Structure 1
């Protein structure tokens, strides 16, 4: 193996060339995720770019929902190790000011945009995210999150929209580590001894004076395996908010959260209650390439210089029937102590979850 340009810089974290990552796990990944909306729930854009060094793949996606229609574009190519490449096909990310300002561009006839992200509060480093399946950790990752605003333009369905930072906002994250990517691993023992369920809530929320980040992951019996609740201020202070308790009202006949209440605790022991109303949503299994998307999965080898585009009718029974088995990103309108904010309420309740009253994979909310 030859040295690569990054080896010139003092950035090494292991006794390896920067052409290699320390883990040999095929599922090592390094990813950007963003969402954008105009606070109405009428339009919702979700996008991301990922690098999979041990698979030799770089890919990206963008999907926008308006009403019951959704447009998605995907790009994939070979990844050349040891570079700072954040561009694939017609999609690219430019880091203008690390942890604060980025530009994201997508050029495709079905969906295009030229957007600049500006962080509203400092990025928050999350607790390490680990998810076990039997004897193995299938997810072991680090991530930081941030809320912010957008400016630029967005074009889909033949219409160009001006993206005004006074209206358009969203959240983003950067994560890296191990998670299922590319072609599925053999089921092995887990094919006969499945975990039975997964419950997940992820909520980066923005108010005028601070941002909140709440993360809860639980096993089917309600045992908590990830817990994070913090409030970040513009001056860099981060306040821990205890052990969150979450009440969710599911829409009848679905597993979709209609509203939620987050019970937090300030550093002096006072209760802090956040009420959540969900607006528009995007399922990460529809066009976005996350687990369960039947068209394309992150990290899959699709050949060099590959792209695709799809328009979806979200009333299609085949898509509706997929939702109870997917992670869904919801635009959230939130209130806390009289203040109104907006953000992301990402939620999944797959299979059994005793505290929510779900007993298996098929039952829905009454």
Structure 2
């Protein structure tokens, strides 16, 4: 069907913009944002939107975590007859200027969570190494993804509180992915669960005053990488160079003695870049941590990304993260705020991580689910 976007240059298929080149139900496009202050305030927000053209669904989420509690809002709509409007009920995302300014809005709703926030890019975007994976000859993942570091401005309301978001204090990151995405099922109420061989993965972004770093790696065994992508990036408009691409990373991780899940305490990452430069990052996790189950990552109570929920559906809840049953439910996958030292420079960002059973290091945390 024709939409306003079809008046723009950029078609890559002899059809309209609301169609893609295959009928795989796993094809999706996702926008994701997270932000946090760099001072002592223990708070992080996460916001995301998913476009599922072969399932006729658009879904979205928003959440805030602070001081042992997490507020979650989720919403889904039938995609057509308005397939390319990035609005799902009261939540909308507007690209004001590509690679520079995005607006994130959640209007009044029953959850009590509301915001009007702008992402303001500070660094050039990083384009990840393409993701391509086959299993038994079938493509299970064929996806492109890019991230960008920036600042946030605006306001955020939850639990009767209003927080002003000052770009001098609020750092953050966003990403945009599209293509066939591998299935991730970790909702124990709705088997089967996804089987994962032994692995370690870590995805990290960090923003210093005048540069940033992106690091993403997966290993089957220590030193045996099955995926690596990363780059040192510089302020918006700076000329990019291939010499700043990451070509190797090694790690040493220290874990909290957490009885309910995998919880990183600190880490050392030794990086090697294409021009031969080496850097050692000292990473320290901070308290703010948003568990991505709140955004349906891995599924929650039988609802998975892309599931049809009717013309319009929304739900919300507040989690007590000090409750053992809740922690078992939300598992490990989370965005956790970090402080990173590179020599005398101090930066802030987030880390995601997980260690699968059978990986030859970090055995103490493998009793807990990795994803």
**Gap change, CA 1:192 and 1:264, over 3 Å in 2:** closer
Offset at residue 62 of structure 1 (A): 0.4
Q: Which residue of 2 aligns with 1:165?
A: 167
Quick one: distance in 2 between partners of 1:219 and 1:144?
24
Task: Identify the range of structure 1 (108-117 vs 54-63) with the bigger mean alpha-carbon deviation.
Answer: 108-117
| Contact residue 6 and residue 82 of structure 1 kept, 8 A | no
Offset at residue 230 of structure 1 (A): 1.0
**Gap change, CA 1:222 and 1:353, over 3 Å in 2:** farther
| Contact residue 284 and residue 328 of structure 1 kept, 8 A | yes
Q: Give the counterpart of 2:338 among 306, 329, 332.
A: 332
Q: Which residue of 1 aligns with 2:189?
A: none
Q: Which residue of 2 aligns with 1:105?
A: 105
Q: Which residue of 2 aligns with 1:246?
A: 251
| Contact residue 126 and residue 146 of structure 2 kept, 8 A | yes
What is the TM-score normalised by the length of structure 1? 0.89
Offset at residue 346 of structure 1 (A): 1.2
Aligned ranges 1:158-307 → 2 under 5 Å: 158-180=160-182, 194-219=195-220, 223-234=224-235, 235-238=238-241, 239-253=244-258, 254-279=261-286, 280-285=288-293, 287-294=294-301, 296-307=303-314
Q: Secondary structure at the match of 2:266?
A: strand
Quick one: distance in 1 between partners of 2:52 and 2:369?
36
Quick one: distance in 2 between partners of 1:268 and 1:118?
30
**Gap change, CA 1:211 and 1:193, over 3 Å in 2:** closer
Say whether 1:314 aligns with 2:321. Answer: yes
Quick one: distance in 2 between partners of 1:128 and 1:182?
19
| Contact residue 126 and residue 143 of structure 1 kept, 8 A | yes
Q: Secondary structure at the match of 1:318?
A: helix
Aligned residues between the structures: 356
Aligned ranges 1:64-213 → 2 under 5 Å: 64-80=64-80, 83-107=83-107, 108-109=109-110, 110-132=112-134, 135-180=137-182, 194-213=195-214
Quick one: distance in 2 between partners of 1:41 and 1:257?
20
Unaligned runs of 5+ in 2: 187-191
Task: Identify the range of structure 1 (257-266 vs 55-64) with the bigger mean alpha-carbon deviation.
Answer: 257-266
Offset at residue 6 of structure 1 (A): 3.4
| Contact residue 211 and residue 232 of structure 2 kept, 8 A | yes
Quick one: distance in 2 between partners of 1:307 and 1:14?
34
Offset at residue 4 of structure 1 (A): 4.2
Quick one: distance in 1 between partners of 2:56 and 2:364?
40
CA RMSD of aligned residues (A): 2.7
Quick one: distance in 1 between partners of 2:332 and 2:185?
18
Offset at residue 20 of structure 1 (A): 1.3
Task: Identify the range of structure 1 (75-84 vs 352-361) with the bigger mean alpha-carbon deviation.
Answer: 352-361
Offset at residue 261 of structure 1 (A): 1.1
Deviation track 1:23-71 (CA, whole Å, cap 9, x = no partner) reads 2110110110000111236111011011100000011100101111111
Task: Identify the range of structure 1 (222-231 vs 169-178) with the bigger mean alpha-carbon deviation.
Answer: 222-231
Deviation track 1:255-302 (CA, whole Å, cap 9, x = no partner) reads 2111111101244423211111111211212x1110143363221111
Deviation track 1:184-217 (CA, whole Å, cap 9, x = no partner) reads 9xxxxxx799443442211111011111000001
| Contact residue 251 and residue 257 of structure 1 kept, 8 A | yes
Quick one: distance in 2 between partners of 1:261 and 1:250?
12
Q: Secondary structure at the match of 1:118?
A: strand
**Gap change, CA 1:214 and 1:6, over 3 Å in 2:** same
